[in-house]
Structures are given as structure tokens and as C-alpha cells.
Amino acid sequence: MERCDLGRLKAYHDDALAPAEREAVAAHLIGCPACQQALAALAERSRGVAQCLTTLDPEPAAVPAARQALARFREAQRSHASAPSPVRIALQRSVTMIRETFGNSRWRSLAIGAAALACLVILFSFAPVRQAAADFLGIFRVRKFAVIPIDPTQQQKIEALLRQAEEGRFGAPTILREEGEPEPVADLAAASARVGFAVRAPTILPWGVPPLSLTVQAGPALRYEMDRAVIQALLEATQAQGIKLPAVDKITLVLDVPYSVIQEYGFGTGRLTIRQMASPQVDIPAGVDLTAIGEAGFKFLGIPDADALRLAQGIDWTSTLVIPLPTNVLQYREVTVDGVVGLLVEHRPAQSSRRAAFLLWQKDGVIYSITTRDVDPLVTMQVADSMR
Amino acid sequence: MTCSEVEFDALFLAHYEGVYRLLYRIVGAREDAEDLAQETFLRLARHGQPDQEPHVRAWLYRVATNLAYNLLRSEGRRQRRQQAYGAANGETETDPIEIAARQDERAAVRRALASLPERQAQLLLLRHAGLSYRELAAVIGVASGSVGTLLARAEAAFEKAYRAASREEGGRGHGTM
């Protein structure tokens, strides 16, 4: 060592030098009292720092066992990746986009509940058809959202119906296009090219971090054909009254869910996922009385007859997605976001600081959702307002 | 780099405890440290370790410290906001260890670390976690010949900050420095 060098002394002290360099430092030290002193000071300071940092160590008993942690990790991965049936995928993805919202099982069941009403809307649309089914004139596109508060009993009813649907009681759909895997894309321009609309991104991100991932995902397309026996089964299952069966052998519905773009942000335990997609489309046979379907759906949910009719008449069924929310565990409110009226749903358990929220709005034919965990709703709204 | 499930499990078992300890030192709460450790390995599973980073431990520790500091930043904002609005929403969790006997000293150490530039604090924590000079160089993106100098500076800065923090504790800090 030709001159005194604190960094090299430190490396010498930490035994991080190659053998030749180490020997050179040792030789220099013999003839350099200043470096000897500096080395002693370095050693003393390193000891002190190590002692201080050791106070931050967890108690040995408090360190989770790696094997158990691995088991939890695998379990979390499995529950995240467990593949629902194509029907459920299509219905959930197509109409609510809520599935992505909620990591834990309670939220997942709520998302299923939401999808179930969508399922009802679609399935009920078979009932009052009065003319040939191949005529697809009515088109449902999501423009607005409406919330129907439900209690746990009603939620169970919806889930029971959905289970029957999954078991094939109401027939099985023909998959025209499988739901794709999320595929990474390089940037927003590439994403826009894939989805066919201008993908937006937030300009305000409180954590100042780039997205963990930017992906596009193809939605499924399916065709649902129902004959009279299937429709009869559906009517029985939902105890729908006063709905006349169509005078045709078979009715066909087509559901097409377009590409969506997913931007995922993370910061510690916090998660913020922005999903955007053009409205999914349901081709509805001509002549369907959507108000009557909606009314039957509300009655199925246990809403008194008079209210069901009034509610159903107050909704534009060609453009409104109805979301049933269990208000015993969720709070919701309408908010102004991105210049339009949106829906903010919050889950705030009393005993935990963990909370989740879901913000949903529609603008210029594109549906946006932001799902969060451990993020202040005010921050979520700021992020939404900054979409450019 | 992508790896099979068997390889991944081996990496998880080999490095989980180290990652957890590192995270715990930074965030000081078990639940957060566990969440962040899971998140760290999730990223390894999802994206794999980049080819240009041959030291898997260094990669894991870098991701973990970044996640932890992101959390601290968002926590800081949350606390400041709560103060600004005078809100007591019952969400602040009390770490039981923080009320144990060495609370003052821990507080002083944390405050000293927090007052350092983030890279210096990270360097000290990662060295304390056992990373070699070569691994540290990979994490912070410098030549390994510079690590000694950076560490020496970081330790000196910590010493100074810790003394100040101990004084703020009203002389209650029991550090030996």
C-alpha cells in the first residue's frame, strides 16, 4: 500500500482483500503509526455499529420457520392461481372486474356474489324472449353502475345458484376463445396497440415507483345455448314467477370480453392495481324485456315485489351493471373521479389495519378499476384523477 | 433466470430466514416483515432473478430492502397525514417488542439509521446481514474496490447520528458508542 487509504484499511479489517493486497496492507501498517491508529479506530467503530444494529434483531423465537413460511407461500400462490370454471371466469371478468380486487377469501366470495347477479341478468334474459333467438339486436354495454345492498342470506342464495350453474345444471357454454394469460408488454404504446384504445396511466404515484408489471390479457368469448329444459330448470331454481317461456327450441347468447390492460404497483404491503378495458359486450336476443328480467332478479334477492318493480324500472338495463354488495362488511359511496361519477367500495375490518378498496368508473367507453390493499382511499382517488 | 419449483423451494429455505431478519431490522414489526418476505420471494418466483445478477442472495436482499424502505416511506406519509388531520383511527399497531426493555436504544438506532442517506443505511444493514463486499458491490452498483470506502463513511456517519439520537433520547441511550 503506497499511501494511507481508509477504504482499503476498512476492507483489510473486514478481511475482504485478495491475499496479495492483504499482505501489502499488512506490510504498510508495520511502518505507519497513523494507519495503525486509524485501523484501531475503524475496528472500534465497527464493533459499536454492529452492537447497535444487533439490538434491532428479532428474538430468535420470533423468526418464522422457513418451512412453514414456504407452505404459506405456496398456499397463497395456489389460492391466487386456482382456476375457476370458464363460466365463472367469463362472468366475473366480463362484467365486474372485481375478481382481481380482493386477495383474501372473504373478498373472493363477495366478488363471486357480484358476478352472480351479472349471471342472473344474463341468464334471465332467456326467459321473456318472444321471437326467434338468432336475432341479436340488443347489445349490453356497461355505462353505469348501480349498487344493490344485500345481506348474508341473499349472498348465500346467489352463491348457491352459481354453484348450480357451475355444475352444469343450466347447460355449458361453448368456449369461442379461451381467456389468455397476462402477457408483459414493453410500454403503454404497445399496450394501446394490443387493446385498440388509448391506454392511460396515472401521473401521480405517491410512492414514485414504476409499475411492478404492465400486462395485457385477452378476455374469453363464449356462446351459450339454452334449450327449453335448461330454461325451465333455471326458472325453478330461481323461483321466478310470471315469466313466459319463449316459443323457440333454443336460445343463444354471445358474450365477448375484450383485452384488458393491467398495471400493478406495489410498495411494501401496499398494492394498487389498475385495470382498464373496453366494455365487454353481451349480444342479447331481440325483444328481451330487460326490466322484467331485472325485476325477477331483485325478487330472487328477496327484495319485496313493489320495490323490485320500482328499482327495476329506475335502471337503464342496457347500460347499467348492477353490483350486489353485502353492506354488513362493505361500505360504498359514489365519488367523483376522473371527471365522472364512480363507485368506491371499502372493506375496513375493525380489528386490523389491513384494508382493501375498489374504485370503479367508466369513461369514454372504457371501464377502469383500481383495486388496492393498504392504501388510503384519498390516495387512490388522487391516482385515479391523475390518469392521462 | 427462471428456476424449477424444486430449485425455488431450495432457494426459499436457504434464504428465507436471512431475508426475514433483514426486513425485521428495518421495519421492526413481525407482520410487516413476514408480508415483505413473502413479497420478495413472490418477485423471485414471478420474474426470476435477472441474468446479470449472479448473486441470488444479493438480489433477494436488494429487493427486500427496497420493499422495506418503500413501506417506511408510505408509513411516514400516513403518520404525517394522521398528525395533520389529528385523526386517531386506531390503525397504528403497537409492536410489543418496542415496549420492551431496550426500547430507547432501539429507537435511537432506528432514528440514526433514518437520518442517514438511504444508501448508507442500506449498506450498513446489508453488511450486518452478512453480505460480502462483492455482493454489496452488486447490490449498490459500484466496483467492489469502493465498498470499503463507502462502508467506512457510512459507519462514521452512523456513529455521529447515533450520538445525536441518543442525546435526543435524553441520555437514555445505552449504546457503547
SS (H, E, C) B64-115: HHHHHHHHHHHHHHHHHHHHHHCCCCCCCCCCHHHHCCCHHHHHHHHHHHHH
Q: Which residues of A touch B144 (CB under 8 A)?
A: 16
Domain parsing of chain A, residue ranges: 6-58, 85-385
Is the interface score ipTM higher than 0.95? no
Measure B30 CA to nearest chain A CA, in Å: 8
Nearest 5°: the CA angle A273, A275, A276 is 155
Which range in A87-96, B35-44, B70-79, B121-130 is most confidently predicted, on average pLDDT? B121-130
User: Which residues of A fall within a CB distance of 8 Å from B173?
Assistant: none
| CB-based contact B151 A14, cutoff 8 Å | yes
Residues in chain A closer than 8 A to B45 (CB atoms)? 77
Q: Report residue A102 CA to chain centroid gap.
A: 6
Q: What is the pLDDT of residue A86?
A: 35
Which amino acid belongs to residue B27? Answer: V
Nearest-neighbour CA in chain B from A327: distance (Å): 21
Distance CA A380, CA A120 (A): 31
The span from the CA of B17 to the CA of B57, in Å, is 12
Using a CB–CB cutoff of 8 Å, tell me whether A4 touches chain B: no
Q: What is the mean pLDDT of each run of 10 residues along chain A (388 residues)?
A: 78 93 92 91 94 88 87 74 38 36 35 41 32 29 63 71 67 72 88 91 77 83 72 71 59 74 81 82 62 75 78 72 68 85 75 70 84 83 91
With a cut of 50, say whether residue B31 has pLDDT above it: yes
What local confidence, expressed as pLDDT, does residue B30 receive? 83
CB contact under 8 A, B20 and A70: no
* Chain A environment of B72 (Cβ under 8 Å): 268
Q: Report B:99-158 residues touching A (Cβ under 8 A).
A: 102, 105-106, 109-110, 112, 124-125, 128, 132-133, 144-152, 155-156, 158
The sign of the torsion formed by the CA atoms of B88, B90, B91, B96 equals: positive
Whether the CB-CB separation of B45 and B8 falls below 8 Å is answered with: yes
Instruction: Please give the CATH number for the structural domain made up of B1-99.
Output: 1.10.1740.10
Do B71 and A268 lie within an 8 Å CB cutoff?
yes
Task: Give yes or no for A14 touching B (CB within 8 A).
Answer: yes
What is the per-residue pLDDT for A354? 59
Pick the CATH number of B101-172 from 3.90.25, 1.10.10, 2.120.10, 1.10.286: 1.10.10
The mean per-residue pLDDT over the stretch B89-96 comes to 39
Write out residues 190-209 of A within 8 Å (CB-CB) of B: 206-207, 209
Chain A residues inside the 8 Å CB shell of B74: 206-207, 267-268, 270
**Cβ–Cβ under 8 Å, residues B124 and A51:** no
**Which chain A residues are within 8 Å of B130, Cβ to Cβ?**
none
**B24 with A58: Cβ contact below 8 A:** yes
User: Closest by alpha carbon to A216, among A258, A266, A267?
Assistant: A258
Q: With an 8 Å Cβ cutoff, are A53 and B73 in contact?
A: no
Q: Which of A234, A94, A220, A218 is nearest to A169 (CA)?
A: A234
Higher pLDDT, A226 or B148: B148
**Residue A17 pLDDT:** 92
Q: Where are the alpha helices (DSSP H) in A167-287?
A: 188-195, 228-238
Query: Chain B, 36-95: which have a CB under 8 Å from a chain A CB?
Result: 36-39, 41-43, 45-46, 67-68, 70-75, 77-78, 81, 91-93
Does residue B107 register a pLDDT over 90?
Answer: no
Max Cα distance, chain B (Å): 54
Angle among Cα A64, A69, A75 to the nearest 5 degrees reads 150
Distance to chain A for B174, nearest Cα, Å? 10
Strand pairing category for A144-150 and A320-326: parallel
- Residues 6+ away with beta carbon under 8 Å from B100: none
As a whole number of angstroms, the distance between CA A368 and CA A272 comes to 13
B74/chain A closest Cα distance in angstroms: 7
User: CA nearest A143: which of A290, A361, A349, A338?
Assistant: A361
Domain spans of chain B?
A: 1-99, 101-172
How many Å apart are CA B104 and CA A378, to the nearest integer? 34
Judged by CB atoms closer than 8 Å, whether chains meet at B109 and A52 is answered as yes
Q: What percent of chain B stands above pLDDT 70?
A: 72
Cβ–Cβ pairs < 8 A, chains A and B: 159
